[in-house]
Amino acid sequence: MTQTLKVGLLGFGYAGSTFHAPLLRAVDGIELVAVASSRPEQVRAVLPNVQVHATPDALLMAPDIDLVVIATPNDSHFSLAEAALRAGKHVVVDKPFTLTAAEARQLVALAERQGLLLSVFHNRRWDADFLAIQQLMAEGLLGRVVHFESHFDRYRPLVRQRWRESPNAGAGLWYDLGPHLLDQVVQLFGLPQAILLEKAALRDGALSDDWFHALLRYPDKRVMLHGSALVADAGPRFIIHGTQGSFSKYGLDPQEEALKAGGMPGSAAWGRDDLPGRLVLADGVPRELVGPAGDYTRYYSNVRDALLHGAANPVPAVQAWQIMVLLELGWLSADQQHWQTVPAALAC
Q: At what angle do helices 101-114 and 317-336 cross, to 10 degrees?
A: 170
pLDDT score of 233: 97
Backbone angles phi, psi at 245, to 5 degrees: 165, -175
**Percent over 90 (pLDDT), the chain:** 93
pLDDT score of 225: 98
Across the chain, mean pLDDT equals: 96
Question: Mean of the pLDDT values across residues 117-145?
Answer: 97
179 close to 187: Cβ distance less than 8 angstroms = no
Residue 1 has pLDDT above 80, yes or no: no
Query: Who contacts 346 (Cβ-Cβ below 8 Å, separation ≥6)?
Result: 191, 322, 325
Predicted confidence band of residue 267 (pLDDT cuts 50, 70, 90): confident
266 close to 26: Cβ distance less than 8 angstroms = yes
pLDDT digits (tens, 9 = 90+) for 20-43: 999 999 999 999 999 999 999 999
Per-domain boundaries in the chain: 5-121, 124-293+327-341
pLDDT score of 268: 84
Domain range 124-293+327-341, CATH architecture:
2-Layer Sandwich (3.30)
Residue 235 has pLDDT above 90, yes or no: yes
pLDDT score of 313: 98
Superfamily of domain 5-121: NAD(P)-binding Rossmann-like Domain (3.40.50.720)
**Beta strands of 82-209 (E only): which ranges?**
90-94, 118-121, 145-153, 194-200
Residue 231, H or E segment: none
247 close to 290: Cβ distance less than 8 angstroms = no
Question: Mean of the pLDDT values across residues 126-146?
Answer: 97
pLDDT score of 309: 94
Predicted confidence band of residue 347 (pLDDT cuts 50, 70, 90): confident
Q: How many CB atoms lie within 10 A of CB 172?
A: 25
Q: How many CB atoms lie within 10 A of CB 208?
A: 21
The closest alpha carbon to 7, from 67, 47, 59, belongs to: 67
Residue 333 has pLDDT above 70, yes or no: yes
52 close to 45: Cβ distance less than 8 angstroms = no
Angle formed at CA 140 by CA 136 and CA 146, multiple of 5 degrees: 90
The strand pair at 90-94 and 51-53 is best described as unpaired
Residue 252 has pLDDT above 70, yes or no: yes
Question: What one-letter code names the amino acid at 233?
Answer: D
User: Please, what is the end-to-end C-alpha distance for the chain in angstroms?
Assistant: 32
Query: What is the tally of helices (H) and strands (E) in the chain?
Result: 11, 15
The closest alpha carbon to 61, from 88, 41, 81, 37, belongs to: 88
pLDDT digits (tens, 9 = 90+) for 152-176: 999 999 999 888 899 998 889 999 9
Distance, CA of 279 to CA of 133 (rounded, Å): 11
Query: Who contacts 336 (Cβ-Cβ below 8 Å, separation ≥6)?
Result: none
Predicted confidence band of residue 181 (pLDDT cuts 50, 70, 90): very high
Q: Report yes or no on whether pTM surpasses 0.85.
A: yes
Angle formed at CA 234 by CA 236 and CA 274, multiple of 5 degrees: 60
Same fold, 5-121 and 124-293+327-341: no
Residue 2 has pLDDT above 90, yes or no: no
pLDDT score of 348: 64
> In sequence order, what are the beta bridge partners of 30?
5
